[in-house]
Structure 1
Amino acid sequence: MAKKRVPKYAHHKPSGQARVRIDGKDIYLGVYGSQESHQRYSELLGEWSRSNSEPIKDVKVRELTHLYIEHCKIYYRKNGEVTGEVANIKSAVRYLNQKFRNLLSKEIDTLKLEAVREHMIEADLARKTINCHISRIKSMFKWAANKKFIDKMVFLELTTLEGLKEGRSMARETDAVIPVPESYIAAVKEYVTSPIWTMIQLQMYTGMRPGEVLQMRACDLVMSGDVWEYHPQSHKTQHKKKLRIVHLGKHAQELIKPYLTTDLQAYLFSPLKGRAEYTSKNYRDDAKAFVRNDRRRYSSQGYYIAIKRACESAEVPHWSPNRLRHNFATNVRREHGIEAARVLLGHSSAVTSEIYAEVDIESARAVIAKIG
């Protein structure tokens, strides 16, 4: 009997469509890479799998990783867009594929998973990153067991591999995250564009995560009273149904006002404005700024790289925008206590009642009114 092969999500380049071949017939799924095409592929794959009376037992590692990533593109979504976790999963399974891509998935055991982990150590990944990547690989095998691609005992064996302990492996340890020295922040001012510098200052005044400041829009602002509110359209704990309100004092408001326009849906900080400023400063007068049409706002990577390059130009140690939250937290905790810092950063411990939530918000507004 011929071996059953898993139908693959493929790109039909002449038409730009995604397609899958099932039982010798090509089925077109929609625009290649779109959410609709991945959703349709997942549905067809499920139907195909159920139509086969016997579970698929000979899925190779490269095929399994392909199928799992397609599943993740549907599962890990927020506001209709794929989240960053998919990129993390791709990075994790890449190391597995580099070692065992042609091996059958059912042949992966703890010794082989340890070999993958050693491969990560040789690639100089940090210990915490390695542990997260190994957990992602285990999750893939759990999914595969539920889909009957492998026997559940394969997954159960992999769960017995413990994570790397601090100081007990050759994996690189990372330094504790500390606030950015104020001199390092001030040093990059002349090497970044106005939108980038404004976002840096906003993080300092509000404790926003980089992703939150990048996606600011006028329609997400409540501009009434002494303290404004910003409700991010997407945030880290959204999938847990947690409320995230960023409070904006007078200094933050003054930073935002020049970027407000009549287009309430537009992102406040546009790469087009930043690129135009950079071009006028560094090129001839008639030079035109080029920005891709889909760059309506800065990406997290673009923001990170802009700061990195500015640090290099200013000849100061590189720092990440994520660390600016630590600056804010340190200042708030010193002046107003740890509870104020917890509320303003959007952290929570246990599920609280609506009454406590209201007290938290009022407390946050009072602190921000003093900080600015």
Structure 2
Amino acid sequence: MTLKTLVRKYLENCKEQNNLNQKTIKAYKIDLEQFIFFMKDIDAFYKKDEIVRYIQHLNSLNFKVKTIKRKIASVKAFFSYLEYEEIIERNPFYKIKLKIKEPLILPKTISLKDIEKLFEYIYLEKSNYNETSYKHKEIVRDIAVLEVLIGTGMRISELCNIKKENMAYTNNEIKIYGKGAKERIIPIYNKDTIAALQIYETVFYKEICNSDYFFVNKRKKRLSSQSVRNMIKKYCKKINIDKNITPHMFRHTFATMLLDDDVDIRSIQMLLGHSSIITTQIYTHVRSNKKSQIMKNKNPRRMIIVNKG
């Protein structure tokens, strides 16, 4: 069988046997068609040397590292299928050592000055509207959302999917479901955050009662991630913060501020719901001047007094 035929059978298997979604299959198809084009005049496409040549070809293109890794993974999965079906004796990737290092991309945080500016504005804005107006209700909700984002470090998807029965902030906890539907309990003790949630629940009582979710819009539907992004952008524009502040930056800021306050990395991992400590360790790179401050102000040598006669 030709390489093109084998790829077609593999994609059919992905759809029928592995039950992969259309988006994944489409990505596989694009990656494998590129592999077919590269190997169009080569019969021994399953040989190690040809695979290495293809990887070198990908590295020569202007792809991002993540894209290259995905394209290689697609081809590797294809060869695993060929080996399983006994079309080839051995997957050539067994003999190939891949070392593709992704550049370190530091998480973007929000300055304390900008956070204070944002909160001062929105709290003041609330007092400018009549309590019976929807605009007042909307700002009450926006305050509660921002308080939860900066006070818990949860993902925006986690916030928008909080069920009303999982909001037990009066018992100082919120139950959320993170990546992979992993349950996580977030303790919540800050009085401003709790007060913002209590006011929001009172004002939106009817809407919440008619929804499965805690954070809702005026149509009594679940508040969307995009709505929160637009809300943050709107307020930043009004107070002349020209940075593109996103909901996820609140999460990064939460973690970085904890680290700056000498909270250990394992505790931060637990609060953020990271499955691996490696993911959390990225925050140790954000405040590079922290080490300088420690060595300047807390170096153990300062405690040693030597009489040099």
Q: Same fold (TM over 0.5)?
A: yes
1:312, 1:61 → 2: CA distance? Answer: 50
The residue type paired with residue 141 of structure 1 is F
Q: Deviations over 1:271-327 (max 9, x none)?
A: x43xx7xxxxxxxxxxxxxxxx9x74414x564566567657745222332232222
Q: Matched residues in 1 for 2:244 and 2:148: separation?
A: 19
Q: In the TM superposition, what are the counterparts of 1:289-304 in structure 2 within 5 Å?
A: 296-299=222-225, 303-304=228-229
Change (3 A) 1:269 1:93: same
Measure the CA separation in 2 of the matches of 1:305 and 1:91. 30
Q: In the alignment, what sits opposite 1:93?
A: 28
* Residue of 251, 273, 288 corresponding to 2:192: 251
C-alpha distance 68-268 of structure 1, shift in aligned 2 (>3 A): same
- Provide TM-score, normalisation by structure 1: 0.50
Q: Under a length normalisation based on structure 2, what TM-score does the superposition of the two structures give?
A: 0.58
After the TM superposition, which residues 83-122 of structure 1 pair with which residues of structure 2 at under 5 Å, given as runs? 89=24, 93=28, 96-97=31-32, 99-100=34-35, 107=45, 109-119=51-61, 121-122=62-63
Counterpart of 2:297 in structure 1 is: none
In the alignment, what sits opposite 2:74? 137
* Letter of the structure 1 residue corresponding to residue 147 of structure 2: Q
Amino acid at match of 1:344: L
1:198-243 superposed Cα distances (whole Å, 9 cap, x missing partner) = 4333110011122211101112233553x1x2222x31254xxx65
C-alpha change, 1:237 and 1:179, in structure 2 (3 Å) is same
Question: What percentage of residue pairs aligned between the two structures are identical?
Answer: 17
Partner of 1:162: 98
Distance 1:203 1:310 in 2: 15
Q: Within 5 A, what are the aligned runs for 1:31-46?
A: none
Give yes or no for the alignment of 1:177 onto 2:107.
yes
Match of 1:231 in 2: 175
Q: SS of 1:317's equivalent? A: coil
**2:268 paired residue number:** 341
Which residues of 2 match residues 147-158 of structure 1 at below 5 A?
Answer: 148=85, 151=88, 153=90, 155-157=91-93
Residues 150 and 268 of structure 1: CA distance in aligned 2, closer, same or farther (over 3 Å): farther
User: In 2, are the aligned partners of 1:206 and 1:246 still within 8 Å (CA)?
Assistant: yes
Q: CA deviation at 1:196?
A: 5.3
* Cα distance change of structure 1 residues 179 and 315 upon mapping to structure 2, 3 Å threshold: closer
> C-alpha displacement at 1:254, in angstroms?
2.6
Cα separation, partners in 2 of 1:221 and 1:315, compared to 1, 3 Å: closer
Classify 1:306/1:66 alpha carbon distance in 2 versus 1 (closer, same or farther; 3 Å): farther
Unpaired segments ≥5 residues, structure 2: 126-134, 278-309
Judging by fraction of residues, say which structure has more helix: 2
Secondary structure of the residue aligned to 1:252 is helix
User: Root-mean-square deviation (CA), in Å?
Assistant: 4.5
Q: Provide Cα deviations, 1:10-66, integer angstroms capped at 9, x if missing partner.
A: xxxxxxxxxxxxxxxxxxxxxxxxxxxxxxxxxxxxxxxxxxxxxx98635466446
